[in-house]
Structures are given as structure tokens and as C-alpha cells.
Structure 1
Amino acid sequence: MQLTVLGRYGAYPAAGGACSGYLLQDGDTNLLLDCGSGIVSRLQNFCSWTNLSAIVITHFHADHYLDLYPLRYALQLSKFNKRKDKLLVLVPPGGDIELTRIFSNEESKKSFADPFLFREIGSEEERIGSLQLNFLQVNHPVPTYAVKVRNNNCQLVYTSDTSFHGQLIDFSKGSSLLLAESTLRNEDEDRSELTGHLTAGQAGELASIAGVKKLMLTHFWPEFSLEQYAKEAGETYGKEVIIAEEGESYWID
């Protein structure tokens, strides 16, 4: 399974960057985790939207879903990259109604939803091509889901946006890669529960307790030092920490 980081910033991107978006590829399966601002542009360097197997939107904060709007136009209006079937989008409960409300007026409701097949995230396992997906609701101001993605050889867990809690430890245990948000620095820990975000140190602690093989940090605040994030996470993880690099692909085994 291969992970390509399309965007790594929370709230708003740094110059030349993009918000949350991660492409997982396994054989002919192409799964997009989140679709924040800038992701549709980056996606086309690695995979055509016509070849996407599905999208997971982990929650309804704009840095995780905003590029569904230009993707809608690409799916509807492209003359040369036609898609024959609707694109499956897994969303938190009520997500199809929420997205239609955000992006549509009374006249355009049908046209926004037309290229997508919305399905609510639930407790049951989802099968997307060769990949198996499980979900865990995490701690954030709006309903938000961590995602576990497995094939026959490896397992990735993406925390999405969350503060630290015990269920996430069990959910992440034994993962080949933990893709963990680390919006906050250790000095910001008093804001963790209120904002629903991990500090870098908490991300490292989560990875250590869960016994994951590798830890990759993402969802950075654009004004904070990446070196500081890596240092603080490494102190609690006890191993080398990977900083998500936009445009880079990583083999997971």
C-alpha cells in the first residue's frame, strides 16, 4: 500500500501548500482520505479523479472537505475525463444533507449531489476495492472519525483531528503507520481538549503506547516549526518521527 501526501496543513495552508488530503493506492484501488483546499490540483499529479475508488471525509471542517466543490465540477463538466459511475463519498452521519446545505441553493441542490454517492460512516467495516476500512469516532468539536485502512500485508491508521483518548490507542495498536495530526506544540497542551487536537508530544505518546511501527505527523499549523513538532514527538515516541512532505509517496509495509 502506498501513501501520497497531497496536503498537510490544518485550518489554512502555508504558501504553496494545501490542507488535508491523503491518497492511498493498493493495486487498482485509489482511496482519498479527506479533500481540503488545494487537493484536487495535487491529486491530478498522481491519480485522475476518474480512477478514484472512493473518498472518506472524516469531518465537516472546511480544511477537510472544501475541494469537493471543484471536484464536483470536474466530474460533471470535464469533456475528456468522463466518469461513468457516481463517486462514493463516505461521510459522517447527516453528511449528504450538510454538504448540500453548504454548497447549494434551492435551484442547484440536485446538481451538486449528482456526481456523488454519499454513504454514512458507521460501525460496520467498509470494503473499498482491496482495502478494508474501519472507523472510530474521536474527540473534536464536530462529529469526527479516525480511519483504519488494511490490506493483506499492512495497516494504516489516520487519526483525523482529535485530542488524546484511550480508544484511539486500542484502535491504532500494531499499525504499520500511524498518520497522526499534531496541530499543537507541547506548550499548547492546555488547549488540547478544548480544540480537539493533539500536541506533537501526545502524538508520539499515542504511537508509543499503541506500538506502531512508524509515526508520521501531519495537520500542521503553518506558523509553527516542523523541527519542533518532530523533536517533541520523538521525545515521547522514542523513535525517528516522519514529517509528512507534500507530494511525497511512502510505501507502507
Structure 2
Amino acid sequence: MSERPFMQLYVSDYLGDTRHLSCEQHGAYLLLLMTMWNAGGSLPDDDAKLSRCACLSIKKWKAMRADIEPFFTVEGGEWTNDRLTKELQKSTTKSELRSSAGERGGRAKALKTNKAALANATALPKHLPDTRNHIAAAQLSPSAFLYDRLIEAASSRGPCHPNLAMGIGQITDLIAQGYDLDRDILPIVSEKARPDIGSWKFFATVIVQRAAERVAIPAKPEAPQIDWAARLKVFRESGTWGAWGPPPCEPGCLAPPQMQQKIAA
């Protein structure tokens, strides 16, 4: 089996770029992409070999080469495809991170086994705290789907730090608190990931900050203080109340009742 059995195909993008191809040309193009994926990202610029990869006679291949070649970069005697190269890089990064996580998991399991053996040798066997914590962590472990989405986002612009293969509990905590994976989390991971950032805590902090900024409600400005004493003085002296609403002692007047009572007296 190939080391890379799964190749990502963005169907909408593919169909949008290839509507002009015939059925036979579609087949040749896809076969070249698949062979290139298994070959590690490139094929030799050799018509005889390319025709075999496309399952075409050399004559048919040469007749359609001009229609297929624009989808590839031909340089230095090799054919490559930009999109396939990026997907291959992401796949390789993801595989390395999983391998690193597996090695850490194997060491942790061996340590746990040794501790359990030591505990079983005592007169009164009991569950070790480490064992209980390990079981609880296993029950809360996120799905492989979530892990893949996070690593794909972290490596979308290049290799990410290998420590990201470790536990993603801080991200699952955010999801449990109501943060949305596609709206709140993945865009930040994709934007902020760098080869020197190896902690999910960094991303969690930025995710919380951005979400708070998005939903922040501006403080309501305080209502201006009204000098009712000055207004009532003007009313006593001139008998005019202006645009301040109903005058004192009239229904709906906004002046404090105790002040209105002094005028009425």
C-alpha cells in the first residue's frame, strides 16, 4: 500500500477548472495527478512515460498534451502541480505529527505499565492516581476528525510545530464552552500557526480574545446631567419652559416632583 493512500480532491475547484476537457482528457488528467501523488509530487517530462501514466497510446497522448499541460508546471525536466504539492506537504506534516504523537503515547503507556506492575506487587493493590487520570483523559479525547481539522489548519501555510501533536484538550474545552470550530477556532489556528509555536494554549488565548472583540457591546453613554434648579428658576422668572417637555405641574413634566411642588406653592 502507498504511504499516502488518501489524496484530497476539491471537487468544486476541479470542475470549475476543467469544464472544457473531454471525458478522455479528464481521465488522463486524473490519472496523472494520482500517479504524481504516489510518486511523491513529480513526474518526468517524458512523453512515453507520461502516456503510460495516463493509459494512452503515445500518439493520443501527444495529441492531447497541449490541453493537459497547462494544469502542471513543467520545469527542470519534471512535471509538478502546485495544488498537489501543497496537499502533499500537509499530508506529510500530518503523518509526521501522528508518528510523533504515537511515540509519546508508547512511552507513556510503557511508563504506566511499569507503575501498574509496581502497584500490583504491594500487599493491597489499588488504582494509581496516574491510572485514573489516564482513563479520564481517554474518555475525553477528541475524535480523529477534530485532530485532523486542527492539524490541517495549522499546516495550511507551511509546516507547524511538532509539539502540536500532543493533547488538544484546551481546544476541546473551548468547544465545550460553546466556541464554534469553523467560525471561532480554525481561522485563528490557520492565521497564527508558525513553526515556532508549539502550544495550543497560545491559540486558545487568541481565540477567546477575538471572540470577545467580535461580540463586545459598546458601553451606553451616560445621560447628561440636567440642572433642573436652573431650569425652574428660568420658568419662575419668565414663565417659559421651552422645549423641555410639559411645564412644571403639568402631566408628563420631567422635573423632580419636589421641585415642582415648590413652584406650585
Give the TM-score normalised by structure 2. Answer: 0.25
Give the TM-score normalised by structure 1. Answer: 0.26
| RCO higher in structure (CA 8 A, sep ≥6) | 1
> Could you say which structure has the higher strand fraction?
1
> Could you say which structure has the higher helix fraction?
2
The structure having more radius of gyration, on CA atoms, is 2
